[in-house]
Amino acid sequence: MISQPDNDNNLDKPMVFIIVGKGYEAKDSEGVDLHILLSAPDDDTAVREALNALSEEGFLEADLDQIGVLTEEPVEEPHASAYQGALEGEVSIIRFA
C-alpha cells in the first residue's frame, strides 16, 4: 500500500511558475514579449495572478502561450532576481523589447 502520493503537489519548496506570453498596452500595438515568474499553489491561480499583475501594470490584453514550473533556480539575470522575488510573494514581469 502506498502511504505518500507521488505527485507534484508535495514539494518541499514553493512552486515557482514561469508564464511566457505577449502583453498589449494599447489596442493596436504590436505587443511586448513577457516572462512572468510567480509562486502559486496551482497553475490556475498562477494565471489569474499573472493577469491581475499585468492589468495593474497597464496592459489591456495578454496572450499567455506557455506555463511551467521552474525546477532549478535561474543563475542569469533578469530571471535570477525575478525568481527571488517570486519566492518572496511578488509577481515578477520581465519585458523583452
pLDDT tens-place string over residues 17-32: 999 999 999 988 899 9
- What is the distance between the alpha carbons of residues 94 and 66, in angstroms, rounded to a whole number? 15
Q: Per residue in 63-81, pLDDT tens?
A: 999 999 999 999 999 999 9
Amino acid symbol at 88: E
| Grid cell of 93 as nine digits | 514581469
Rounded CA separation 83/37 (Å): 6
Domain ranges of the chain: 36-88
Query: Do residues 47 and 64 lie in contact, with contact meaning Cβ atoms separated by under 8 Å?
Result: yes
